[in-house]
Structure 1
Amino acid sequence: MSDLLIGGAETSTLAALASPVTVIDSTTSCQDVDELFRADEHLGCLAVHGDGPGRSLGLVSRVPFQHLMSGRLGYGKLLNTRRPVSALTDWSPLVVHAATGVAEVARQVLDRGSSQRFSEVLVADPGAPLRQVSVTDVFRALSGELATKALTDALTGLANRDHFLQRLQQCCTAPDVRRRLALVYVDLDGFKAFNDGHGHGVGDLVLQVVADRLRGCFHPGDLVARLGGDEFAAVVQLPAGVPVGPAARQLGERVRACLSGTISLSSIVLPGRASVGVAVASSVLADGETLLREADLAMYRAKAAGGGRVELVTDVGSTAPREQFAPDRRELQRAVDEGEFLVHYQPIVEVGTGRLASVEALVRWQHPRRGLLAPGAFLGAVADAGFAANLDLHVLEVALAQFSRWQRNLGRAAPRAVNVNVSVQGLLHPRLAPAVLDALSRAGLDPAVLRVELPEAATTTQLDVVRGALGTLRAAGVRLTLDDLGAGASSLHHLTRLTLDGVKIDRRFIAGLLDDERDAAVVVMLLELAHSTGIAVTAEGVETRPQLEALQEMARGRPTFVQGHLISRPVAAEEIALPWSGGLHHLHAHVPGPRSAVPTAPGPVASS
């Protein structure tokens, strides 16, 4: 296995990005400055030392300086050569402390006027020389930070639950990895009583100590995660040449011993005890869910036996392997033909007024044997079967037909738009634009009512391939929205390469909005980025009234939209109470607009 251990969770600062900057005097001639830039093609800027009030420190950036030196009709150099550089200096550069976080610097950059937004940032650190960093490097570092955040538990810096489950499934389906694959499940004994007695702040410190001990207990190639609360897990490949049972027992005892030392926090001492369950996969195991469940049950057996011990289960999946869910194209087409794929709708409302702006179409599968399946349970299998583009088109046609009915029956009280997701396969389909426009024509709808949500998972190369098709859709009036902004490193890069009408902030950041300073800083930065470029922004996964109130404050009266279980769960078309009678001022747990008490599927809602 590759190196899967996640490192610390600290926010990156400018200190690691900054490079030295040359400081010149304000009396230096523009001719001398021009020669400095010409002599070094990598010299991006110069700091200028001033000598008067309001002119103590300035900045000269290469591109605007050379533009001014060229001037209209090429007379710029003639006019400026003998002038002091002070005349062409920006005397209000952005100067930040070296310890400032990247997200905060990005926010400050976006707050500046358009003429200064792309100038270098000067980095000051008392007792150290002045340095500089380019805006490009700031946003590149922020992209990496967002990608890391999407995989990391904010409190401990270990992998988070989503990342752990994804990588576990990959390990279980890789023939060279799953053999002798062990899952270690850890629960701290007595932690709940300790947490209740001493408070969550002290409890969080204990969890950080435990995370540090687990980092030292496992090898760099092992994936270690905090699943939630005081539960941790790791996935490990047992060494070859040692019988599975003894190897698994040795692994579990090593983890138990690693956590057995007392934890001292000032005057508080917690006896280190943990219950450990270890489950080992057989060679026929094909899903991580089974392995995780068996390790969890083994951990509970250890806890029921008094705690502070290890329980094993080996050869998981050998006697009764779980039925693999791998529908082929024929079964998927049959499900489409028989109406098993249902489309539910989730309202998107304006944060300031509660006005219904749109509804997002989300697919479910009413499977004849498995029951109602949420998207996360089948979309991977649909993609594996090469059927994702077909399903995209089916959902689009169903959603447009429903939207057309709303318009006929409700008139001006109908929703104003409908959001429909497109998969990566659907995005790359050679008939993407004609298929979408044909579906709109058959439904008798103006293209302006459709918002196509582009997948964040699409690579830059893939988006370059479909740039023409996306341009055709926008020219026809279809709106384009980037889904899950912030979920990966490519998100911010997509903003610079695509012409977009909207973005949706990934639900991970909304979930941590009130408790994690990093999440709050990222949300503010993304709101500022969207608003400054005139792009509509929607916050996904709004679950609580305090989250909504925080977003209202951050929006500062600018058009911002929200969706999530606080507003309504996704529901069938007939369950949305239209005309919309929303308005957010009276929200407590749910608004009385949609009948949100009617659940459609448990757990978080994934978009199609």
Structure 2
Amino acid sequence: MAGHSARSYVLALEDVRRGIGDQPTRAAAEAGLAHLMSHDPLTGLVNRPGFLSDLWVLLAESSANQSSVGVLILDIDHFMAVNEGLGVAAGDEVLRIAAWRLGSTVSNTAVVARLDGDEFAVVDTYADTAAACQVAASLLAALNAPMIIGDSTLDLSASIGFAMAGPGDTADGVLGRATTAVNRAKKLGRNRFEVELASTTDPTDGRLRRRSELRQAIDDDELLLFYQPQIDLANGQMSGFEALVRWDHPDRGLLDPAAFIDFAEESGLILPLGAWVINAAVAQQADWHRSSPGRAPVRMSVNISAIQLNDPHLADIVTSALERHKVAAGLLTLEITETALTVDPESALRTLNMLSALGVRLSIDDFGTGHSSLVYLRRFPIDELKIDRSFIAGLTSDTKDHAIVTSCIQLAHATNMSAVAEGVETADQLEALLELGCDLAQGYFYTRPMTAVDLEPWFVPRPDNQILSRQQLTG
């Protein structure tokens, strides 16, 4: 089944054309039409509906003969950069070559499909997970080989996720786990494969219990926000805050995001959790504005995950929160990581354009650690670059880190963006950022994240153009 090709697609199309109005060839026409409906015209591979159909058949057969069905999902890394840099025709050629390489690498029993864009899938029977991992490694090697496209030689890579179907598994179930695995591969640096194992725990334990607890936390207000001030380095004044979620777990105490955000993404709860954070942060802005009508408006930054960014309802969620609490859109900044922009660039662009049209400011978080192209900065409506704390840590001790921070600030200013330094911990780092012309800074040099009540002293105006410590700012 791996040998589906563009040629077979063309032949099927010819069968359809000949069969219209021609009784002797009508059967061939019907077969050709069925082929067209289940195959991708660009690559000749099975399309998503055809793949799902084949997967259901294999799952049914595996129950009867006790074989093990596994699904590999593969995304070409940074494919958007090919389309942007070389044109759509070059991108199409990359997809055709990738399809041929995939089909040439897997066994004759495998079904290879193009699900959407640069996303491919392979389903086959495997002796065990180790055998599937060998196939994944072979697929990576096949796609790592240089591609000659016109006058250009491209060195591409891919991210692969694998899941083995368990007893009674559905097509959606195994595909969902494979998707979770490929997303994890992207987060861990790309050009790799990850495996998502089927859950073997009792339904009352483990993941399902954790999901139930987190769902209840969202519904019962066990979540709360802490805030870290951001300082305007041009005048030394507090400019705004970054909102950071915590979970006040009834048994485990106060939990940092690292303890539950990844699980929220894997379990599908990141969308209601993210909506709660947006609404709570905007509500706090409104509360501060009401309590001190003569105070300058408070700016708020909120982190957005890749899953939220690709949610078609995100703009509506933001609009609803702003209108409900009567907060101006320009006072809200949404922070998105570089990696989030590359998961589905076209979907990200649509969402970011809608948010920008509302007046919401957009920031790239952890800038310098991901895989964004300068093309993205030109194309996406970004207002702010937030320099990753790892570079700030070495700013005064490592010449490379100093050069990177300098370049990030210059890039931000050259493209009409603000530059924000996170993770500032020493006066020396702050001095260096002032010399480089950085716009905003936050970090433990000023304070750890605090509750809204603890932040009241930060609203007192301070002398301009001074490097102030936490004690000076709050004392």
- Give the alignment's TM-score, normalised by structure 1: 0.43
Say which one has the larger Rg. Answer: 1
Q: Which of 370, 392, 400 matches 1:518?
A: 400
Contact kept? 2:310, 2:351, Cα under 8 Å: no
Q: Which of 391, 404, 407 matches 2:273?
A: 391
Alpha-carbon spacing, 1:458–1:586, altered in 2? closer, same or farther (3 Å)? closer
Partner of 2:454: 575
The offset of 1:355, in angstroms, is 1.6
Q: Which of 208, 219, 230 matches 1:337?
A: 219
Q: Which of 465, 468, 471 matches 1:587?
A: 468
CA distance in 2, matches of 1:324, 1:507: 34
Secondary structure of the 1:593 match is helix
Amino acid at match of 1:587: L
Secondary structure of the 1:404 match is helix
Partner of 1:562: 441
CA distance in 2, matches of 1:472, 1:490: 20
Q: Which of 529, 534, 538 matches 2:416?
A: 534
Amino acid at match of 1:579: F
Deviations 1:397-431 (A, max 9, x none): 11111100101111242453111111111111121
Partner of 1:452: 334
The offset of 1:176, in angstroms, is 5.6
Q: Which of 533, 545, 563 matches 2:427?
A: 545
CA distance in 1, matches of 2:387, 2:240: 16
Secondary structure of the 1:553 match is helix
CA distance in 1, matches of 2:427, 2:342: 36
CA distance in 1, matches of 2:285, 2:449: 15
CA distance in 2, matches of 1:513, 1:578: 26
Contact kept? 2:385, 2:420, Cα under 8 Å: yes
Amino acid at match of 1:534: N
Amino acid at match of 1:356: M
CA distance in 2, matches of 1:176, 1:561: 49
CA distance in 2, matches of 1:575, 1:416: 16
Contact kept? 1:345, 1:361, Cα under 8 Å: yes
Contact kept? 2:282, 2:325, Cα under 8 Å: yes
Amino acid at match of 1:430: P
Contact kept? 2:230, 2:442, Cα under 8 Å: yes
Amino acid at match of 2:442: Q
CA distance in 1, matches of 2:373, 2:293: 37
Alpha-carbon spacing, 1:537–1:327, altered in 2? closer, same or farther (3 Å)? farther
Secondary structure of the 2:234 match is coil
The offset of 1:325, in angstroms, is 6.8
The offset of 1:352, in angstroms, is 2.6
More helix by share: 2
Contact kept? 1:486, 1:492, Cα under 8 Å: no
Alpha-carbon spacing, 1:326–1:359, altered in 2? closer, same or farther (3 Å)? farther
Secondary structure of the 2:340 match is coil
5+ unaligned residues in a row in structure 2: which ranges? Answer: 1-84, 86-127, 132-204
Identity between Structure 1 and Structure 2 (%): 38
Alpha-carbon spacing, 1:582–1:334, altered in 2? closer, same or farther (3 Å)? farther
The offset of 1:492, in angstroms, is 4.2
The offset of 1:594, in angstroms, is 4.7
Q: Which of 294, 312, 326 matches 1:430?
A: 312
CA distance in 2, matches of 1:356, 1:526: 23
Partner of 2:283: 401
Alpha-carbon spacing, 1:367–1:414, altered in 2? closer, same or farther (3 Å)? farther
5+ unaligned residues in a row in structure 1: which ranges? Answer: 1-135, 137-173, 178-322, 596-608
Q: Which of 245, 254, 263 matches 1:381?
A: 263
CA distance in 1, matches of 2:454, 2:295: 16
| Correspondence 1:354 to 2:233 | no
Secondary structure of the 2:218 match is helix
Contact kept? 2:218, 2:272, Cα under 8 Å: no
Matches within 5 A, 1:249-328: 328=210
Alpha-carbon spacing, 1:388–1:436, altered in 2? closer, same or farther (3 Å)? same
Contact kept? 2:229, 2:238, Cα under 8 Å: yes
CA distance in 2, matches of 1:369, 1:554: 46
Alpha-carbon spacing, 1:175–1:351, altered in 2? closer, same or farther (3 Å)? farther
CA distance in 2, matches of 1:346, 1:550: 21
Contact kept? 1:514, 1:547, Cα under 8 Å: yes
CA distance in 2, matches of 1:387, 1:491: 30
Secondary structure of the 2:446 match is coil
Secondary structure of the 2:395 match is coil
Amino acid at match of 1:467: L
Matches within 5 A, 1:86-105: none
Secondary structure of the 1:411 match is coil
CA distance in 2, matches of 1:568, 1:587: 12
Contact kept? 2:306, 2:343, Cα under 8 Å: no
Contact kept? 2:297, 2:331, Cα under 8 Å: no
Partner of 2:176: none
Deviations 1:269-316 (A, max 9, x none): xxxxxxxxxxxxxxxxxxxxxxxxxxxxxxxxxxxxxxxxxxxxxxxx
| Correspondence 1:483 to 2:362 | no
Q: Which of 495, 502, 508 matches 2:390?
A: 508
Secondary structure of the 1:364 match is strand
Matches within 5 A, 1:21-420: 328-420=210-302
| Correspondence 1:467 to 2:349 | yes
The offset of 1:329, in angstroms, is 3.9
CA distance in 1, matches of 2:430, 2:353: 34
CA distance in 1, matches of 2:367, 2:467: 29
